[in-house]
Structure 1
Amino acid sequence: MKRNIEVKKIDITDLDVDVIVNAANSRLHEGGGVCGAIFRKAGANELADACSEIGHCETGNAVITPGFNLKAKYIIHAVGPIWSGGDSNEAELLSNAYRRSLALAKENGCHTIGFPLISSGIYGYPKRQAWQKAIQACDDFINDNPDYSIRITFAVMSDGSKDMGENALDEFYG
């Protein structure tokens, strides 16, 4: 583990952490991929009701709900940008989604958090660049909050994604 950031090949819903992050859409509706898996495992009806009460979340922001049937006490719903070539503020929006998620974790007393690689699935963010932004945003949060201990785990589903994440960590931390 480097600087309290690690990459694991595991279903994010199986992580034993205080909070997991859902790669959400702005309407906070159940989606496919990671989002769909989180809804199913948490309890789709309860989570849909909680998200419906919140209603909406802007791109680059995040909101929090209970974890319901998950091991995690909470779910943070972070809305990353849809990739459209890199000239539409995608990098800043992606960084903001991570920073806001970590701020919500801190506000709710969470010291362990599980992330997917936000925006890198159907939203099309190039994976290598997504890893770089994710690690930078997490490292910035750790450095900006030296009084707060947090362990960050990126949950991925393939060996290739795990290798790419670990390589990005090695490159970042030298």
Structure 2
Amino acid sequence: MSKRPYIYYSEMNSPIGILTIGSSSLGICFIYFGSIKRTCSNIETWLKKRFVNAELVEDGEKLATAIQQLDEYFKGERTDFDLPLDLIGTKFQTLVWNKVKDVAYGTTKSYKQIAAEIGSPKAVRAIGGANNQNPIPIIIPCHRVIGSNGSMVGYGGGLDKKEFLLRHEGAIQKIS
């Protein structure tokens, strides 16, 4: 099991609902859509699946900078994040997440483009799978990854949240 004795968490209100944010001693490791009460069992399952043996501890102070940056993002004052991240995933997933992290604010890329950029042009479905497992949405902007034809394709928080985030960034005007 991975040694992260504590995962600190806190909640914040946002225009897309309550977000539960978690951080290890290394950095932000998850953002869940919903309150800790609603998401706690999902978080615990996620940690166990990744062999992370840690105790969840509420600590808003440890997450103050992340909450501030997310708040600035939602207010339109921030277009990128300057936070340490603790990416807990497979080698392939972390490769994809690091590539998705580079998709600029207000722009989109297709799953096909991401696949080509990591040197695996036929891995479009695998890119979708890795994106689906992204533990740090918004900060790792998987909402900016869309279908090759420009269509909205799946989002862990729901397509309504994906559409909101893309509209918020000016990447889309309206979903047809």
TM-score over 0.5 (shorter chain): no
Q: TM-score, normalised by structure 2?
A: 0.27
Higher helix proportion, which one? 1
Which structure is larger by alpha-carbon Rg, 1 or 2?
2
Q: TM-score, normalised by structure 1?
A: 0.27
Q: Which has the higher contact order (CA 8 A, sep 6+)?
A: 1
